[in-house]
Structure 1
Amino acid sequence: MEWTEIELQAQTWSKPRCIILIRTAESSDFEEPYLSEEFLWEYQALVTNMKDSRDVIWRFYNHRASMENYIKESKNGFGADQVSGDDFYANFADFG
């Protein structure tokens, strides 16, 4: 795992925030080596106003962004934020 951090204040932010850029090496199940090592890294960017150490911040935020993307996809892609009717069982059958 490698990381770096920068402090940035966007025009719309009232105060600066810490941006932590992280890359984690992924293990490979392939016997043949990759042509490029870039395929072996997973990248993350965390934006926070927490003052804790980088390890604490990473453990707190780790993979939460993935869940936010799943929620956004279920709302935008599948209309999970809207129900078609007032009947519980009809909605249950519609989503099930």
Structure 2
Amino acid sequence: MNPYGYYQFPQYPYDYNSYATPEQINPYVPTESYDPDRQPQLERRVSQLERENNRQQREIEQLERRVTRLERRLQRVNQRLRAVERRFNFPFTPFDGEY
């Protein structure tokens, strides 16, 4: 027994040129250092974030298409308004570049 009363692990000869896992060297190392049950949780979270990202991308594309449609409609309305102004000889008074 150790003079201080503490248990010492038996010293095993270790060859530094060979590969050995920590469990083979010291059997008292806890085996929970890698928890394989955590991996599915990470995969579920990654897939959840990917689905959310895809949903947001679809929503952004839909909003961009809607903005494009509205811009075209506004442009057509402005063209019609200019045609009416020309027909009735209204003076063209632009502000902020458009109507």
Please, what TM-score do these two structures have when normalized by structure 1?
0.24
Kindly indicate whether structure 1 or structure 2 has the higher relative contact order, using CA contacts under 8 Å at least 6 residues apart: 1
Which protein is bigger by CA-based radius of gyration?
2
Please, what TM-score do these two structures have when normalized by structure 2?
0.23
